[in-house]
Amino acid sequence: MRRLLTVLAAGVPLAAAVYLPTASAETKDPSATSAFVCSAPAVKAPAGTEVESVTAVGRQGGTIAGTGVLGGSVSGVPAYCEVTVILTHPGDNDHAKVRTWLPVTGWNGRFQGLGGAAYLAGDNNVGLGTAVKSGYAAVSTDAGVGDALDTSWALNSEGRVDTALLENFASRSQHEAAVVGKDVVDAAYGKRPSYSYFTGCSTGGRQGYMEAQRHPEDFDGILADAPAVNWDEFEVATLWPQIVMNNEKTYPSQCEFTAFSNAAVKACDSLDGVKDGLVDDASRCDFDPRRLIGTKVLCEGKELTVTTADATVVRKIWDGPRTASGKKLWYGVPVGADIWALAAHTDPDAGGNVIGSPFPVPAAWLKLWVAKDPSLDLSAITYSRFAQLFRQSQTEYDKVIGTDDPDLSRFRKSGGKLITWHGEADQYIPTQGTVQYRQKVERELGGAKKADDFYRLFLAPGTNHCGLNGLDGSADGLAALTAWVEHGKAPRTLPATLVNDQGQKVSRDLCGYPQVSRYKGHGDPAVASSFKCVSPSRH
């Protein structure tokens, strides 16, 4: 994630990390080591589609470079066969590419579907390479759309939303990729996968939830992290920091935002019983930014005094979007998360004018899909206009891409298992949206214990968006998922490496929601064994 934040600072913002599940529970399938021929198989078109072409190319492996703005690479990838199937939906004039990578030797009998990031519907090769390196046959689809920040497909030549491509991106292409990928595996190895998994973070996490809701038999296990569920709501909500600054005509500097975040972390650090540089259960942190009014902050050699207006902006950003009359619309930036990620702006010019720099993913959603106006001036949106656009997004797109249907009864009945971790300092997708969805599932299915039978949520203190990807911390969610699916070992905790506010790596066992971590009163705070999981205190 640090690499991604460096790219952000260079002016190329990204919506999510490249997701790299580590796939530790490997089981080689000896029946899959027979002679392998890389050839284009006959592929049956999934319902509602036609197959335009099928090709197969043998690849040597080695170091695989990630495409597009996400970049990245993975080394040590063994030889594999890449089968590419182009699908179209008659009458829609779309062309969705489904790529299946097949290990030439050492297939472990498992199948993995890979999700995307931002407006990228699938993987950019790094995840596919990682899966093959771990012995998986893997599939990904581009859904007929573009790269992570490419929204050229949003509107057609008449200025209307391209509903076919939106449906591809929102739901149908991921299911079709699962169907095609399994057929390709069957043709290549002479047998279908023993187990099928889906992994993704951010957009990929949303796709995992969509699969569980609409196509519950596609995958035995789904690892859906920092999921972009509630898309129609949070995408608009993430423009709120810009709306606040523009309407309040106050633009705190990046340094000042950091001072507010640091003060909140310091004030709420001991909620778990020890000062360890991490805020456990950030939703309970009630630090009032007005406590900093009048204090001095050193920013790039200049001493700044925190004003009442600065504190008002931060309080509104943390609180989240509301209507002009004060009704809450959605959750705000979590306390402790990087506010600047959504509240970036230029330095004042000679006349003191500041221009906001909205994060491009929600900016595109609001301009293209909601307002249908690429020239919409986001800086001129009032609080009341914002609330109207928020409601419009809900009305038009909840059933299309909301992905917040709590009825997972069919997924539970199919025997599926779902694991999610979400960073409590997620700067792009408010953690509480995921918590709210889990609570809705509990109400729908009859309580927390019934939900826990197949669905576990883990919140990661101090962790940013998709931050447990091995750079700013790590957690082997796929190992936990395979152990649950294949051996019935439900994860009570999820072992993780976190990074505290001093940049130090510490070990933690993430607690299954709703439990939180509490210091035992003795032992090294950097070691997981010094903590236990307890029910949260009333707050």
β-pairing, 195-201 with 110-114? parallel
**203, 250, 240, 201: which is closest to 224 by C-alpha?**
201
DSSP, collapsed to helix, strand or coil, labels residue 417 as strand
Q: What is the largest CA-CA distance in the chain?
A: 74
Tokens of 242: 């810009």
Cis, peptide link before residue 514, omega less than 30° from 0: yes
Per DSSP, helices labelled H in 64-110 are none
Choose, from 422, 465, 472, 509, the residue flagged as catalytic.
Answer: 465
Yes or no: say if 491 and 533 are a contact pair by the CB < 8 Å rule.
no
Active site residue 202: yes
Choose, from 142, 225, 404, 426, the residue flagged as catalytic.
Answer: 426
DSSP, collapsed to helix, strand or coil, labels residue 477 as helix
Total Cβ atoms within 10 A of residue 375: 6
Yes or no: say if 200 and 223 are a contact pair by the CB < 8 Å rule.
yes
Return contacts of 264-267, CB within 8 angstroms, 24+ apart: 264/289, 264/335, 264/336, 265/335, 265/336, 265/462, 265/501, 267/291
Yes or no: say if 442 and 512 are a contact pair by the CB < 8 Å rule.
no
**273, 244, 215: which is closest to 416 by C-alpha?**
215
Per DSSP, helices labelled H in 137-224 are 163-167, 173-189, 203-214
Per DSSP, helices labelled H in 402-525 are 409-413, 431-445, 448-452, 477-487
Q: How many helices (H) and strands (E) does the chain have?
A: 16, 18
DSSP, collapsed to helix, strand or coil, labels residue 53 as strand
- The whole-angstrom separation of Cα 266 and Cα 264 is 5
Residue 148 is given by DSSP the state T
Active site residue 452: no
Indicate the burial class of 51 (C-beta count within 10 angstroms; 0-12, 13-18, 19 or more): middle
Tokens of 483: 């152990």
Instruction: Print burial letters for 320-336: b (CB count within 10 Å at least 16), e (below 16).
Output: bbbeeeeeebbbbbbbb
Yes or no: say if 66 and 150 are a contact pair by the CB < 8 Å rule.
no
Active site residue 529: no
Indicate the burial class of 119 (C-beta count within 10 angstroms; 0-12, 13-18, 19 or more): buried
Choose, from 140, 202, 261, 283, the residue flagged as catalytic.
Answer: 202
Give the contacts of 292 (CB within 8 A, at least 6 positions apart).
259, 260, 263, 306, 310, 311
What positions carry a catalytic annotation? 202, 426, 465
